[in-house]
């Protein structure tokens, strides 16, 4: 059960290679080339390198892979800022070119360490969404706490009775799967319950949560990046998922994080990224509030964006560490084909 994720990713990678190298990709590209779109890529962490036995989340793309991807994207697409992408989607009837916007969630410092040189080399203006309550507080993002916990387990077998989990950990894939399973079980809880659950998991595994560098950008670094032309948006205060019935607390987070972002950017037009980004978690009231407060909102629903689309339900193409350039090209094309109703 636990190895499902790794197997699924391997299968997708092989499928992507088959689609690409048998010429199916080329044929499909021709078939679906008429309508031009705005593609929004969703990144998280940029890692220096991937050691064979280093356990890292699937959200870390290596700096080398990222550079290759940007080299390809700036050749194949018109790479624009999110503001420009929104302007085109709002004002154009038909797009003349295919556009691409690069976004990062969570505000990791490695976006600065490994990203800046690539942004400048390829003239890419990314949008980085910040969970403002974690910046400069030393608090580690809840999902990174889970990852750190799983990473420090050195037993072959682990039991977490509070969540009914019993897992065998023989390699890094097992650890990645365990971290993923834990995150799925925790993520819909309010921040306080989330912290209690993580503490309980740590107790049951027999580990203590170490407080170390949270790996996120500081406000000083954010300001420096903003001055260099990088865009910042809101990702709530606490990285809370918009669980149903959580509107009052959520609304507060929407306002507070917006004010924080306005503090470092010149524009009053602030953009938003839904934590976790699944539309199934968003009800009408929440959507209405997000519309009132923010210029746009991105989700993690896969797809491309077309003129006249809902600017507060923007689709994205997620990039993860398992993706090489071929896989990314195929994924971009398939997400276009699969949201057919827009074609
Ligand atoms: Zn996030």
pLDDT at 1 over 60: no
User: 183, 205, 227 — which closes off a domain?
Assistant: 205
- CB atoms within 5 A of ion ligand 1 belong to 105-106, 275
CA of 276 to the centre of ligand 1 (A): 6
CA distances from 225 to 32, 106, 323 (A): 37, 15, 27
pLDDT at 340: 52
User: Are 183 and 302 in the same domain?
Assistant: no
Of residues 265 and 343, more confidently modeled: 265
User: Are 244 and 333 in the same domain?
Assistant: yes
Of residues 107 and 159, more confidently modeled: 107
User: Are 264 and 220 in the same domain?
Assistant: yes
Domain coverage including residue 201: 142-205
pLDDT tens-digit profile of 215-263? 999 999 999 999 999 999 999 999 988 665 677 888 899 999 999 999 9
CA of 273 to the centre of ligand 1 (A): 8
pLDDT at 243: 65
User: Are 103 and 23 in the same domain?
Assistant: yes
pLDDT tens-digit profile of 27-72? 999 999 999 999 999 999 998 876 554 555 678 899 999 999 999 9
User: 205, 228, 247 — which closes off a domain?
Assistant: 205
pLDDT at 207: 87
User: Are 187 and 297 in the same domain?
Assistant: no
CA of 146 to the centre of ligand 1 (A): 14
CA of 143 to the centre of ligand 1 (A): 9
CA of 236 to the centre of ligand 1 (A): 9
8 A C-beta contact, residue 271 and residue 297: yes
Of residues 60 and 105, more confidently modeled: 105
Phi-psi region of 123 (alpha: psi -120 to 50; beta: other; left: phi over 0): left
User: 163, 184, 205 — which closes off a domain?
Assistant: 205
pLDDT at 171: 82
- Give me the mean pLDDT over the 91-112 stretch: 96
pLDDT at 316: 97
CATH code assigned at 255: 3.20.20.370
Q: pLDDT tier at 3 (50, 70, 90 boundaries)?
A: low
pLDDT at 2 over 90: no
User: Are 195 and 238 in the same domain?
Assistant: no
CA of 171 to the centre of ligand 1 (A): 26
User: Are 133 and 18 in the same domain?
Assistant: yes
pLDDT tens-digit profile of 160-206? 988 888 888 888 888 888 988 899 899 888 888 889 999 999 999 88
8 A C-beta contact, residue 20 and residue 329: yes
User: Are 182 and 268 in the same domain?
Assistant: no
CA of 241 to the centre of ligand 1 (A): 9
pLDDT at 20 over 60: yes
CA of 235 to the centre of ligand 1 (A): 7
pLDDT at 8: 83
Of residues 177 and 212, more confidently modeled: 177
CA of 44 to the centre of ligand 1 (A): 8
Considering its fold, how many domains does the chain have in total? 2
CA of 239 to the centre of ligand 1 (A): 6
- Give me the mean pLDDT over the 301-314 stretch: 96
User: Are 255 and 112 in the same domain?
Assistant: yes
User: Are 232 and 147 in the same domain?
Assistant: no
User: Are 133 and 239 in the same domain?
Assistant: yes
User: Are 220 and 298 in the same domain?
Assistant: yes
CA of 238 to the centre of ligand 1 (A): 10
- Nearest alpha carbon to residue 285 among 254, 330, 324: 254
pLDDT at 119: 97
pLDDT tens-digit profile of 186-198? 988 888 888 999 9
Average pLDDT score, the chain: 90
CA of 320 to the centre of ligand 1 (A): 13
pLDDT-above-70 percentage for the chain: 94
In angstroms, the CA 342 to CA 86 distance is: 17
Chain-centroid distance, C-alpha 294:
19
Grouping H, G, I as helix, E, B as strand and the rest as coil, residue 100 is strand
- Give me the mean pLDDT over the 108-135 stretch: 96
CA of 43 to the centre of ligand 1 (A): 10
């Amino acid at each position: 059960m636990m190895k499902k994720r790794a197997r699924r990713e391997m299968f997708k990678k092989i499928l992507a290679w088959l689609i690409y190298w048998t010429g199916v990709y080329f044929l499909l590209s021709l078939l679906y080339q008429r309508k031009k779109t705005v593609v929004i890529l969703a990144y998280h962490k940029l890692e220096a390198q991937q050691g064979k036995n280093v356990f890292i989340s699937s959200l870390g793309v290596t700096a080398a892979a990222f550079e290759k991807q940007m080299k390809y994207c700036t050749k194949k697409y018109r790479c624009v800022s999110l503001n420009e992408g929104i302007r085109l989607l709002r004002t154009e009837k038909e797009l003349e070119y295919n556009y691409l916007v690069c976004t990062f969630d969570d505000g990791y410092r490695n976006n600065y360490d490994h990203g800046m040189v690539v942004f400048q080399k390829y003239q890419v203006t990314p949008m980085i969404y910040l969970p403002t309550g974690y910046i400069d507080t030393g608090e580690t993002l809840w999902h990174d706490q889970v990852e750190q916990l799983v990473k420090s387990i050195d037993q072959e077998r682990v039991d977490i009775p509070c969540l009914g989990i019993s897992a065998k950990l023989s390699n890094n894939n097992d650890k990645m799967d365990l971290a993923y399973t834990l995150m799925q079980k925790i993520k819909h809880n309010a921040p306080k319950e989330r912290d209690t659950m993580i503490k309980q998991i740590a107790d049951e595994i027999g580990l203590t949560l170490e407080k170390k560098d949270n790996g996120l950008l500081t406000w000083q670094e954010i300001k420096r990046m903003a001055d260099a032309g990088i865009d910042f948006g809101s990702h709530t205060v606490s990285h809370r998922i918009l669980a149903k019935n959580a509107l009052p607390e959520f609304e507060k987070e929407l306002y507070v994080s917006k004010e924080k972002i306005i503090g470092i950017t010149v524009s009053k037009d602030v953009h938003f990224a839904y934590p976790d980004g699944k539309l199934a978690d968003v009800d009408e009231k929440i959507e209405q509030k997000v519309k009132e407060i923010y210029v746009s909102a991105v989700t993690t629903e896969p797809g491309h964006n077309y003129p006249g689309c809902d600017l507060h339900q923007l689709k994205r193409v997620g990039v993860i560490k398992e993706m090489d350039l071929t896989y990314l090209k195929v994924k971009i094309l398939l997400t276009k084909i699969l949201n057919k109703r827009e074609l």
